[in-house]
Structure 1
């Protein structure tokens, strides 16, 4: 523990958690007014505490003082733009902003206390480099800072968005490994119809839902063979059709009243709990893959079957065509590659005929013309 942190808070000092789950400290005598104090780990805490005891103004206020990075973040998190984000996005960005504010400035203070004018393109790039060992984390940091600065420009706090000049890191590979048909067969052999694991796999494949939605679906979402749900991540309304075979598998499996997938205790899964449970089921089938890989297989099969980008968006709940085009372009490349190879074969056959056995090719026109004259 830092030597500056007292084992017990000084007299009249209390603490509570703010909206981000971080501890904030106040000076308060009885039921009097509260005075915000710096973190006890901060070198300025002692001076601020002594000033509060003496009833004098504290020269250096808390980390949310106007025009600081922490202040700008706090205003953004009170905005309509922030309220319009999905809960998962808000949670992720809150965590990123918390670490931005709490990072040491190298002088006993924290970055959050610095002026937000220090948020420059160079500073954003430095933040990405700090997270460079995990490219996905660096990209999430860039996305969060870009959203913050975009809001700041819109509301007159900044003249331009310094995050626009930073480039995203290229991610190696395609993320979570996709399933193959052979993997599905292996899973089905291990988990026959009637098991909850088999039902989970079938629902994941036929709906293409993320695990945050798989744990929510139940009979209330089913009308005949059509299943409709508003996705948790993007709030997109999707409707898919379940074949009779899957309807029969649901009937053959122990489910809950409002959830198709439940624990051994009959309770709905939490999202992390379901992920761990399904991962274990996959390992028992000899696979190191998860439900997101099933989603990739479903999207690949749909694209290979001729589904358009907009059709994929409708099923998988993507808000734009960028993700869908990853699959349609792969399918188009395969289809066009086959088509091109056939053209090459046809052209080669034309050039080699009529002596394709010996590859002698066509008789040149000049030869045919001279033999005719003779």
Structure 2
């Protein structure tokens, strides 16, 4: 007998007839009575091994439950049309929601239930608002597909709170990092890529040598799909020239592998900590510092957006307003000297 392929076993049924069974975790089971090695047998095996994987959590999903809604949503064009980073974010948030409420019937979910769930998360208002944002997307899908008649998120308001978001690095903090990590170190290269491109950490950690050419840096932003084409800053050019790059990626771990999303953030934070900086000095904070510098240099909101790739004026205008107030304050104090 020829060696049988993976995920296949054979047995005899109650009538003594030989049967072949295909079993693979996450895939539908399939059986055949075709003789092993025949053309019909291999046709069966090919179909079984190429079958679509079962949707995540399909086995535990009672029809009409929030679990079942998740299975349907993850298989939909609505979800699969999202960018990969958005998919991961949405799935993480909705899976946590399903862990708590997945067994409940989605048709019985009402606005008062969601308000109560958000009240229970009042200590973490940003997380509560993110949950509501994802629920709205899922419930729009449910209404469109006729799974529910009305949207239970309708009329539910976000929690109000004040937050400055990620800390924007100050100039003394930038100087302290540069003192600790000189030109030529990997930490300094990562720092300079973040500060002098003003890109998100997810785009910086994946930058390759092909994105830096002819005195420019080209970035197809993962989050928005925006193409950013910016001039190569002289300080970044010096940093790149001083660092021996041996891989396609500009930044790699000590094992020569690309950084993961979490790994890159931790690496930058640890380098900042070793420079004596507080824990709030993050990779994303350097993007904000770059935007602040551009605003303080007198750049307009649209000029800043051309560098950062922001698609909304709202965030960028905050930097220009703060820089404008500072410049006006300096001018006013000079008048009373």
Instruction: Say if 2:244 is the partner of 1:251.
Output: no
Separation (CA, whole Å) in 2 of partners of 1:336 and 1:92? 41
Q: 1:199 to 1:158 in 2, by over 3 A?
A: same
Instruction: Say if 2:70 is the partner of 1:90.
Output: no
Instruction: Say if 2:75 is the partner of 1:78.
Output: yes
Report the alpha carbon displacement of residue 268 of structure 1 after superposing the two structures with TM.
Answer: 2.6
Q: Which residue of 2 aligns with 1:187?
A: 177
- Given that residues 118 and 128 in structure 2 are in contact (C-alpha distance below 8 angstroms), is that contact kept between their aligned partners in structure 1? yes
Say what the alpha-carbon RMSD is for the aligned residues. 3.0
- Given that residues 226 and 240 in structure 1 are in contact (C-alpha distance below 8 angstroms), is that contact kept between their aligned partners in structure 2? yes
Separation (CA, whole Å) in 2 of partners of 1:67 and 1:184? 54
Structure 1: tracts of 5 or more residues without a match: 1-13, 19-25, 33-60, 104-110, 347-374
Separation (CA, whole Å) in 1 of partners of 2:204 and 2:83? 18
The 5-angstrom pairing of residues 159-198 of structure 1 reads 159-198=149-188
Q: 1:155 to 1:240 in 2, by over 3 A?
A: same
- Given that residues 256 and 262 in structure 1 are in contact (C-alpha distance below 8 angstroms), is that contact kept between their aligned partners in structure 2? no
Looking at CA atoms only, which structure, 1 or 2, has the larger radius of gyration?
Answer: 1
- Given that residues 183 and 287 in structure 1 are in contact (C-alpha distance below 8 angstroms), is that contact kept between their aligned partners in structure 2? yes
Structure 2: tracts of 5 or more residues without a match: 1-22, 33-57
Q: 1:31 to 1:320 in 2, by over 3 A?
A: same
- Given that residues 225 and 244 in structure 1 are in contact (C-alpha distance below 8 angstroms), is that contact kept between their aligned partners in structure 2? no
Separation (CA, whole Å) in 2 of partners of 1:234 and 1:284? 33
Q: Which residue of 1 aligns with 2:270?
A: 280
Report the alpha carbon displacement of residue 253 of structure 1 after superposing the two structures with TM.
Answer: 0.9
Instruction: Say if 2:214 is the partner of 1:224.
Output: yes
Instruction: Say if 2:296 is the partner of 1:299.
Output: no
- Given that residues 152 and 158 in structure 1 are in contact (C-alpha distance below 8 angstroms), is that contact kept between their aligned partners in structure 2? yes
Separation (CA, whole Å) in 2 of partners of 1:143 and 1:287? 34
Show CA shifts across 1:120-168 (max 9, x none): 2111112222322222211111111011122223334444433242222
Separation (CA, whole Å) in 1 of partners of 2:183 and 2:168? 23
Q: 1:113 to 1:184 in 2, by over 3 A?
A: closer
Separation (CA, whole Å) in 2 of partners of 1:64 and 1:320? 39
Report the alpha carbon displacement of residue 208 of structure 1 after superposing the two structures with TM.
Answer: 0.9
Q: Which residue of 2 aligns with 1:118?
A: 108
Report the alpha carbon displacement of residue 248 of structure 1 after superposing the two structures with TM.
Answer: 2.3
Q: Which residue of 1 aligns with 2:320?
A: 328
Show CA shifts across 1:88-115 (max 9, x none): 2222222222232232xxxxxxx33332
Greater shift in the superposed pair: 212-221 or 67-76? 67-76
Q: 1:243 to 1:312 in 2, by over 3 A?
A: closer
- Given that residues 219 and 229 in structure 2 are in contact (C-alpha distance below 8 angstroms), is that contact kept between their aligned partners in structure 1? yes
Aligned residues: 288
TM-score normalised by length of structure 2: 0.75
Q: 1:240 to 1:151 in 2, by over 3 A?
A: same
The 5-angstrom pairing of residues 29-44 of structure 1 reads 31=31
